[in-house]
Structure 1
Amino acid sequence: MLDVRRLYMLKTVAARGSITAAAHSLALTAGAVSQQLAALRSDVGVDLLRPDGRTVALTEAGRVLLEHADRILAAMEEAESAIAAVKGTVGATATLAALPSTVTRIVAPALTALGSCHPQLAVTCLITDLAQLRELALGTVDVVLGQHYHHLPDATPRGINVSPLLDDPLLVVTAADHGDGRPVMLQELAAHDLAVPPPTTDCGQAILQGCHRAGFTPRPRYVTADIAAQLTLARAGLATALVPHTAIDPTTPGIRTAPIADHPIQRLLFAATRHTENANPTTTAVISALRTAAQEGQTACLPPAQE
């Protein structure tokens, strides 16, 4: 009989591209993973992996087995969710992956509320911009608080449920003594020194496309994905930043914010879980807390000028 843990190791190696990377994500040694995969190869009697440069790739037999492994692992999670639904109680642990820009106004309030309502639930939170939905599909996290900029095609993996939380517009951020807080035409920013994320990021691409729609190509003075750095440059009067509303702490001193009037740029914030027929009470509780925090954060006004 095939060992489910070995099937999961095969899935992880296929996703990570190497035994070393898979071992790191599983908190195991590369030797331990290799040993278990060798045992799996012995169980099925055929090679499942082949060298591919510095990585490994699935053989034809490996691809066939992985297709079945995906269904087996999904069925096991379905069974666990069904039992959890019958019990009807929130569990003891959950892992949340969230964007750094959502921590202040969504994640922190949501975790505080969860601690009050479900004190037995310990939530491990991974603050990361990278490969969140892949980690969700692999089972390393239970809930993702992610983003989707409207200019991008939907790339949600199969078997993932997405629950929209809110549309989060980018705001024009300057020093408090600059501007008057009125809505800004995007074309006006053509003459500004800008602090923006790299064009390789989703936000950077969204800003670039928005500026193109407004008839100009931005020439950033400062390029950084660090929102705290963008706000610092804006507060110092060195640059104008374009920052998601939710990423700005309303108590931040010394900045002025204004909406974009003509070519709004916005992202959808969403909560995502693996699909199961039966709702899991634990992930449901986490998503409910995120939704409440997102709605309350959306109504928190940013004053036009903050001294």
Structure 2
Amino acid sequence: MTDLDARRLRVLHTVALRGGVTAAAASLHVSPSAVSQQLAQLEREAGCDLVERVGRGICLTPAGQALAVHAEQVLHALDRAGAAVAAARTGVAGTVRVGTFATAGAFVAPAVARARRRHPALDLRVTEGEDESTLLDLRLTLLDVVVMQEYDHVPVTLPSGLTARPVADDPLYVVTPATGPLSGRVRLRDLRDAPWIAPAPATPGGRVTRQACRDAGFEPEIRHTAIDVALVLDLVAAGLGVALVPALVLRHGVPAGVRTGPTWDPPLKRTISAVVRTAGGGPQRPAVAAFLAELAAAGAAAAGAAGSYAAGS
């Protein structure tokens, strides 16, 4: 067996986590044929079959699965080595790749801007994505920081090798038509007979709405399905249903005809965290540490402002 190329190990690891060549190619921003060629070369280096065809797709052989596990360890070791070198240099420089969900832009964007002003040699790049996808890219070392959301009643278990650092709490609010019969503080169980508006079940917002209602003792009637915040609020304003949204969603205001109120009995919130690869006793890259410091400050300010607005709307 010849020496194994770290770049090809990354390709194998990506195929293992993403579940196929096409998905791995999209994650690596290359063509599927390029991924297949890298796998074939890695098989020659390893001296054995690492993948096998199953129908129209492929799966890893036992040898491929074993090598993929070690590939993750190799990639993370290289990442820690790079962090040690960066920590030994003077100044904050380099590229930090950040994955985030859309509404966290309220504080991710200011944090990026402030970090760049403080450290001109720092190159920060933001990619929007769903938590599950961006966390995979963090494990693949394609991202350096992932801004993730976790709801009290829908906990998230992180894979080993990742560490979450809380950035801000974002309370959940009920949005109802202003012309409806309910006023003042509304408990979720008071809305058991209302039509609901929620994202699809597989999305974080969809899981949260359904689970919160179940915890309140009823199965919500999801009359309308929408993930776009503007559409949700427009449907509520038209009197077509009620919805459950985080305070940050309301930071730009709500249309006429929409009333908001905090959840209570019990109060609900989501925790927004910055997830990084566990340092494993080594230093963290100064570039990542600089961005995390700005993110913590911006997150607390944005979440507080959004909550104050929603409470007074």
TM-score (norm 1): 0.90
Contact 2:178-2:259 within 8 A present in 1 as well: yes
CA RMSD of aligned residues (A): 2.3
* 1:212–1:65 CA distance, 2 compared to 1 (3 A): closer
Same amino acid, percent of matched pairs: 37
Contact 1:181-1:257 within 8 A present in 2 as well: no
Asked if residue 261 in structure 1 is aligned to residue 264 in structure 2, the reply is yes
Match of 2:125 in 1: 124
* 1:120–1:220 CA distance, 2 compared to 1 (3 A): same
Q: Distance in 2 between matches of 1:122 and 1:275?
A: 22
Match of 1:287 in 2: 292
Q: Distance in 2 between matches of 1:251 and 1:153?
A: 29
Q: Distance in 2 between matches of 1:236 and 1:207?
A: 20
Q: Distance in 2 between matches of 1:214 and 1:153?
A: 17
Match of 2:275 in 1: 272
Deviation at 1:237, TM superposition (A): 3.6
Q: Distance in 1 between matches of 2:89 and 2:254?
A: 44
* 1:305–1:240 CA distance, 2 compared to 1 (3 A): farther
Contact 2:262-2:311 within 8 A present in 1 as well: no
| Residue deviations 1:201-253 (CA, integer Å, cap 9, x gap) | 33322222222232322212222122221122223443322101122214445
Asked if residue 302 in structure 1 is aligned to residue 309 in structure 2, the reply is yes
Map 1:1-307 to 2 at 5 A: 1-103=3-105, 105-129=106-130, 130-175=132-177, 182-254=184-256, 255-276=258-279, 277-300=282-305, 301-302=308-309, 304=311, 306=313
Contact 1:99-1:145 within 8 A present in 2 as well: yes
Q: Distance in 2 between matches of 1:178 and 1:260?
A: 17
Deviation at 1:88, TM superposition (A): 4.6
Q: Distance in 1 between matches of 2:136 and 2:146?
A: 10
Q: Distance in 2 between matches of 1:45 and 1:182?
A: 70
Unaligned runs of 5+ in 1: none
* 1:213–1:65 CA distance, 2 compared to 1 (3 A): closer
TM-score (norm 2): 0.88
My pick for the range that moved more, 74-83 or 21-30, is 21-30
Q: Distance in 2 between matches of 1:303 and 1:3?
A: 53
Amino acid paired to 1:170:
L
| Residue deviations 1:166-223 (CA, integer Å, cap 9, x gap) | 2322101235566897322212212333222223333322222222232322212222
